[in-house]
Amino acid sequence: MRAAQLIEPGIVEVLDIPTPESGDAAVIRMETLGLCGTDLSIVAGKVPVEMPRVMGHEGLGTIEVAGSSGAFGVGQRVLINPGLFCEVCELCRRGYPNLCPNGGLLGREIDGLFADYASMDERQLLAVPDHVTADAAGVIQVLGTCVHAVSKAPVSPGETAVVLGLGVSGQLIAQLLAAKGAQVIGVTRSEWKRELALQHGATAAAAPEEAARVVAELSEGRGSDVVFEAVGTVQTFSQAIELAGSAAIVVFFGTTTGIGDGLPYYQLYYKELTLRNPRGATMADYEQAIALVASGVINGVPLISSRFGLDEVNHALAATQAPSTLKVLMELN
């Protein structure tokens, strides 16, 4: 079978490797694969991995050979939870399988999904209804992480919710918050991304320099009830804290590896803010993501910018890097 492998930092090649044998695990024929910034970081060598490594952590497909548990029959369409978890460690038992120290991410710690077939423990699989189109399904994995993030900051109808950064995750978070009845204010420099958010439930949208004024207007001067940062820079972390009202919850969804200062620490104290730093997603989050897409509450289709074949993985990676794109998929049919 074909598999897109990282050979050395910066070099990804589609090579022929043995198709997984049937065994305890299920064998899945991959259909739709998603790319994101994590793949770019791995290719660039910013996240060190053993090589060669089959890339990819976002994907769904159809069961070709059933696994030993009998949970999923041949022909069943499934999403793969790419976050491995052991179920027996202290964090797994406490309800944090997304933080399992014995786990890892497909395409990073172990071989991933950018291949014709993947062999997967059935514990990692979730059923996806047949009526969900490939494009709609292409955002479910990311949506799972957004569902996880939104669960950390409950909003009530009518409350204000700022989303800083309107890439794929920011757009999905905005849709999730709008579905909960929040007044969503999307913030980004990009006019077309603001327009897209407004078409899908956002109440208002603003460029970063206008954000404080728009938030003040919609919140009657109180500041936002919740703020989601979905960029991952110190500057946007700071702005998230500044746009928050007193007693607000600020969610840092974006990640940065930097340390150092630059945050308005006094405001954290003065407003008695709660900071949340969600990581990954649980099986329950993915279940919800599938239900939200299957029922049409969340529409990921307008976020799909381009589709490639597996052999075009390098074009797909280049497209993922382009600022003008949102979600990039590879379709294997």
Q: Which residues form the interface with Zn ion (CB under 5 A)? A: 36, 38, 58, 86, 89, 92, 100, 102
Query: Measuring CA to CA, which residue among 129, 187, 121, 142 is closest to residue 160?
Result: 187
On whether the CB atoms of residues 88 and 96 are closer than 8 A, the answer is no
In the complex, least distance from residue 40 CB atom to Zn ion, rounded to whole angstroms:
10
Nearest residue (CB) to Zn ion, 89 versus 110:
89
User: d(Cα 115, Cα 141) in Å, to the nearest integer?
Assistant: 17
**Distance, CA of 262 to CA of 115 (rounded, Å):** 42
Shortest Cβ distance from residue 191 to Zn ion (Å)? 26
Q: Which residue lies nearer to Zn ion by CB, 89 or 263?
A: 89
Q: Which one, 102 or 133, has the nearer CB to Zn ion?
A: 102
| Distance in Å, CB of 102 to Zn ion, minimum | 5
> What are the CA-CA distances from residue 331 to residues 137, 206, 318, 322 (Å)?
11, 34, 16, 19
Pick the closer one to Zn ion by CB: 59 or 223. 59
4 vs 100, beta carbon nearer Zn ion? 100
Cβ-based nearer residue to Zn ion, 78 or 142: 142
CB of 112 to Zn ion, least distance (A): 10
CB 67, min distance to Zn ion, A: 20
Sign of the four-CA dihedral 250, 181, 206, 254: positive
CB of 324 to Zn ion, least distance (A): 19
